[in-house]
Amino acid sequence: MYAIHVNKVLENGTKTEIRVEYDEKAKKFEIVGVGVIPKGKRKMIYIGSSKMTDNYEYRCLSMEDREKVKFKTYVEAVGIDVLNEALLEAWEMTKPKPLEQDIYNINFDVSRFV
């Protein structure tokens, strides 16, 4: 698994960092972390950090319900549109780039090497 960090600036001036990872078992990109820097501040606040996970009610939930709670806090912090844009941008970053003949300078006969 590898992480892709997508940085966005919201309309109100809040800076966000959305961490997207590719889950090989599920064969899909997933948002695994959201960090927010409110306008006028310098320190990143990570959504779903120890403040949420130290709560006893949160720990009593099943894994599916924990994922729902985490996702709901992400949506409340940055919005569903920004999360979808981050997923799309992460997918665009991982797409392979087409090969160009000019980069490799292969305008000569290669039959003697094969």
- Transcribe 26-52 into DSSP letters: TTEEEEEEEEEE-TT--S-EEETSHHH
Instruction: Tell me the pLDDT tens digit for each residue of 99-112.
Output: 776 666 666 676 77
Mean pLDDT of the chain: 86
Percent of the chain clearing pLDDT 90 (strictly above): 49
Q: 73 vs 110, which has greater pLDDT?
A: 73
Length in residues, the chain: 114
Please, are residues 25 and 8 in contact by the beta-carbon 8 Å criterion? Answer: no
According to DSSP, residue 111 is labeled G
Residue predicted with more confidence, 53 or 89? 89
* C-beta neighbour count of 80 within 10 angstroms: 11
pLDDT at 99: 73
- How would residue 81 be classed by pLDDT, with cut points 50, 70 and 90? very high
Average pLDDT over residues 72-94: 93
Max mean pLDDT among 12-26, 46-60, 92-106 falls in 12-26
Q: Give the residue-averaged pLDDT of 55-71.
A: 89
